[in-house]
Each structure stands twice: as structure tokens, then as C-alpha cells.
Amino acid sequence: MKFQEMPYSRVDFEKAAAELDAIMEEFRNASSAEEEFAAHQRYYALSDHIRTMTVLSLIRHSIDTEDAFYSEEKDYYDRMLPDFANREVQYHHLLLNSRFRGELEKKIGQPAFVNMELDAKSVSEAAVPLMQEENALGTRYEKLLASAQIPWEGDVLNLSMMTPHLTSPDRSVRTRAAEAVNSYYLSIADELDEIYDLLVKNRTEQAKVLGFNTYTELGYCRMMRNSYGRAEVENFRRQVKEFWVPFAEEVWENRRKRLGLDRLLHLDEGVSHRDGSPRPLGTPEEILEEGRRMYDELSPETSEFFGFMMDNGLLDVFSRKHKQVGGYMEYLPEFRAPFIFANFNGTSGDVDVITHECGHAFQGYLIGKEDNVREHWDITMETAETHSMSMEFFTNPWMERFFGDRAGDFLTSQLEDAVTFIPYGCMVDEFQHIVYDNPQLTPQQRKDAWKKLEQIYKPHLDYGEASSFYAGGCYWQRQHHIYTSPFYYIDYAIAQTNALQYRLRMETDRKGAWESYLKLCRLSASDFFGNMIRAAGLPDPFADGQIQRLADGLRELYRNMI
């Protein structure tokens, strides 16, 4: 079914609660694992419907944040979902305490039960009002950024539409664009501080209500960290500081020299070459059609997937006023359909959508088609981001179609961006640990903490004289995840190391790398992250020495490219 034809109706949570009660009663009365699983399949149908309607509402709100109907629907789910999530925990308790748990684990997997245990720790009736308030604050933040109206050369643009000017090959244009964006952020600085301060206080109170010392502990539960914890994350960040930051700084220095600059300012970081960063050829529509041809040739599986996406209108990627900034992939379970949301803006990021978000969507399409166990769809984020970031590299052989004779420049900048992202990803994660470990910090103290982290993870960073908002320790306030998806960022850094492992392997065994990737996609969430990584033949990203080995291998590849 085409996306625009998908019917929407508001979920009646009173009826949903009654249906869940009936499912729970059927489960309690079951006399075998088979009967329990039959009841559980009724739960699949209920949760699929709720998820599908919620996601449809979310997507249509994202497409036009000024649409009054879907804005109200978004607010409705922000209010209602926390209470229903609490009811679902009660159902999960039945599975956790089942007489036939061992047999059920064989059907849906041990990770599913660990995730239920984490869920049970993360929700309670007392926390529901706070969760509703948290949702409302997140929506307020997203609307604030989506409503940006930035005067630019006789027009008024949103933040996404400013990106081409922020990455212009003309430094004077970049400077003026940076000043315009800076002015906008300064105009909303107090509201950004207020929203985040309320979020920190709210989440800390949720943690206390649920019996945690800090929100950091609760955040790990809600991110479904079911096979590693804080110690592994801290060890990963330690290795990045020691072995990866020097490599990233070498990359930044090469970029400064290539651009012919005495000083690499922050406003220059998004430009990879003196004649500008490579930009895709053709119209947005032509880029999508090139994507179809690329996936037709990559593999039979990707050909079927992308044809399905295009034929059913499951990509909304053109920028418009009042459209939410950023990009994402969502899954509509009743239709077995992924959906990609993005904002094309004439930069290489448009091609990244066709690769990165399609990595998410491809895996979702594959597992939805091949595996009916819903718990296997509930992938943790470091696994999900491995799917997407790896697809960016697997599509490298087709980049000439998008960038013409600048394909080589794109591949260089792509590797550089991947390398330099990892310190930033770790910085975002460490910042959030500081914030939630110390919820009493003032807005200014948080900004001071960010500035100290910038000196550690990005020592070359130079804001110049014009970027007063960013230079004041506020760059993190443009990072949506920090506001709306706490602790969802180290996942990107972990996943990027996995994707870079595939990038190295492609040099000598592209076929084997692709087969490994397909295996990882099909494993989905059927096992724990570490087990699946090993099964796919990838090294453990948390292991001592692994970051250094990867950096050494990539440094050689990178030097050959430049």
C-alpha cells in the first residue's frame, strides 16, 4: 500500500487496555508453552496496530509541523503512551514468570527476556506523569527548531535549508551563513536552556521514583543495554581519547592544508575541498532514481527492497518549510513497510540519506519479511547503526553516478567524516554522563563542561570571533539526541567502528564483507550484540587494543587515498 493511502485512526487506549487485559487472562489460563505463545501472538497484533498508528501520526506530524490535526495526535500519544507502556510491563511480568519460560526463550530469544527485565525497571505508574511531561518537552524542543525562520538574501529559510550555505566553497558565504544561524540560536538561547534544564530535572525525578540513584542508570535501561554497561563504554571512550583522537587530528590538519587555510575555523569543518565539498549531480528526483539503479546492481535483496520503497512512496526526502529538521527511518509493522524521512538540501548529505537511512530500512524490510518473531525486530541502537553506517561504505562503487568526476573527493571526505565523527560521538556521550551524574549543574556549568570536553576530543577546534553561541559552550544544543533521546549517541560511535571494519575488509574481500553484513542484518535482535558481532566475523569494539588496531589500519588506507 502506498504511504499516502495508509489509513490512520487514533488508537483508543481504553479499548487497547481491555484487549491487553484479555490477552493477559488468556496467557494466565494457558496450559502449555504453545498456548502461551498463541496469546503472545495476539499481543503482537495489538502492539503492531498501536505502533503503526503512532508512527503514522509521528511521520505526518514531522512532514508538516504546522498541521493542526497531526500536531494534536502527536500530543495525544505523548500523553497516552507512557501509561500504556506501564500496562505492557505488567504483561511482560507474565512472560518473565511463566512456567514455560525456557520454551518461550527458545522461540523469542533470551535477549527479549533481558529487555523485558530492563523495561520493568524503567516504568511505573508513579513515573507516568513525568514521562508525559518529558514527551511534551521533547516535542517543544523539536517544534522550536522546526519553526526557525532565518532571513537569507531576500528569502526566509529553515535550519536544513541553510546547510548548503554553511558548506559553501566561498568562505565569505559560509561566514555570513554561520552568522545568520548563530543569530537564530542566540535568539532562542534562553528557551533552549529552560527546556533542557526542565528535562534534566524531570529525568532525574523519574530515576528517583523508579529507585535509581541517577538518570544515568535509568538511561542505560531505556537504551536496552542488555549485554554491556558503563564500564565497557568508559573503556571504549578511554581508547578513543588515547588512540583515535590523534588520528582524527591528523585528518583535520590534512583538511586545513587542503583548504589552504592558516586557521581551520569551525565554519570550515563542513568543507572538505578547496572547491567545496562534493555535491550530488541532478535533481532530488534524479538522485532517487540513481539510488534505484544502484540497489538493483548491489544485490537481489537490495533491488527488491528499494523498488518496494520507491513504488510505495516510502521516502519523503524533499525539504519544505514547516518540515521537521533531520532525518530518520521508522517502521510500520502492519504494512511491513519501512519509511524514510529526510531533508534533501543539495549537499552530499542527500546521498547519505540514500545510503545511511536505507541501511536501516533495508534491515527492517529484510527482517520484517523473513522473521515473524517481533522481539527479533527490537534491535538495540549500536546494532541498528551498524546496519546504516556500513551501507554507506558498501555503496561506494556507485558514487561516480552521484558525484561524477568528484567521486574520489567524496570517498575521501566520507572516510574523513567517519574518522572525525567518533571523537564527537564520544564527547556527546561523556557530556551526558556528566550532566545526569550531576543534575544540580546550572546551564552555565553544563556549557563549561562541554567546553572542557571539546579541548579533549577536538583540540584543534577554533570558533573564531563570530560564533558566540557555539563558542560559549552551546554547540550541543543543536544535537537533537541530547534533548530527545538521552544516551543514544555512543551507539553511533560503536557502530562507526564496526562499519569501518567492513570498509577495511572490502579492500581485500568485498564478497565476504557483504555476506557478513547480510548475516548480521538477518540476526537482527535474535542474540546479544557481542554474540552477533562475533557470529558475523567482526572484532569486539570494546576489547583492549581494538581501537588502536583499527586506527592503524585505517591510517594506512587513508594516507593512500590522499
User: What local confidence, expressed as pLDDT, does residue 534 receive?
Assistant: 96
Beta strands in 236-393 (DSSP E): 315-318, 328-332, 337-344
Q: What is the pTM of this model?
A: 0.93
Render pLDDT for 16-63 as a digit per residue (tens, 0 to 9). Answer: 999 999 999 999 999 999 999 999 999 999 999 999 999 999 999 999
Angle at 299 between CA 296 and CA 303, to 5 degrees: 35
Render pLDDT for 106-138 as a digit per residue (tens, 0 to 9). Answer: 999 999 999 999 999 999 999 999 999 999 999
User: What local confidence, expressed as pLDDT, does residue 467 receive?
Assistant: 67
Distance CA 515, CA 243 (A): 30
Distance CA 225, CA 213 (A): 17
User: What local confidence, expressed as pLDDT, does residue 321 receive?
Assistant: 80
- Of 529, 489, 498, the C-alpha closest to 115 is 529
User: What local confidence, expressed as pLDDT, does residue 466 receive?
Assistant: 63
Distance CA 531, CA 537 (A): 10
Render pLDDT for 473-502 as a digit per residue (tens, 0 to 9). Answer: 999 999 999 999 999 999 999 999 999 999
Residue 145 lies in a domain: no
Neighbours of 196 (CB within 10 A): 19
CB-count exposure of residue 239 (10 Å: 0-12, 13-18, 19+): buried
Residue 113 lies in a domain: yes
Residue 242 lies in a domain: no
Render pLDDT for 238-267 as a digit per residue (tens, 0 to 9). Answer: 999 999 999 999 999 999 999 999 999 999
Distance CA 380, CA 490 (A): 12
Residue 67 lies in a domain: yes
Domain span at residue 32? 3-137
Distance CA 426, CA 176 (A): 30
Residue 199 lies in a domain: no
CB-count exposure of residue 28 (10 Å: 0-12, 13-18, 19+): exposed
User: What local confidence, expressed as pLDDT, does residue 562 receive?
Assistant: 87
User: What local confidence, expressed as pLDDT, does residue 536 receive?
Assistant: 98
Mean pLDDT by 10 residues, the chain (562 residues): 96 98 98 98 98 97 93 94 93 97 96 95 94 95 93 93 92 95 96 98 98 98 96 98 98 97 95 93 94 98 98 94 87 97 91 95 97 95 97 98 96 97 98 98 98 98 85 95 96 98 97 98 97 97 97 95 89
Render pLDDT for 58-87 as a digit per residue (tens, 0 to 9). Answer: 999 999 989 999 999 999 999 999 999 989
Distance CA 50, CA 332 (A): 10
Number of domains the chain contains: 1
End-to-end CA distance of the chain: 47
Residue 28 lies in a domain: yes
User: What local confidence, expressed as pLDDT, does residue 560 receive?
Assistant: 92
Residue 182 lies in a domain: no
Q: Are 48 and 374 in contact (CB under 8 A)?
A: yes
Residue 118 lies in a domain: yes
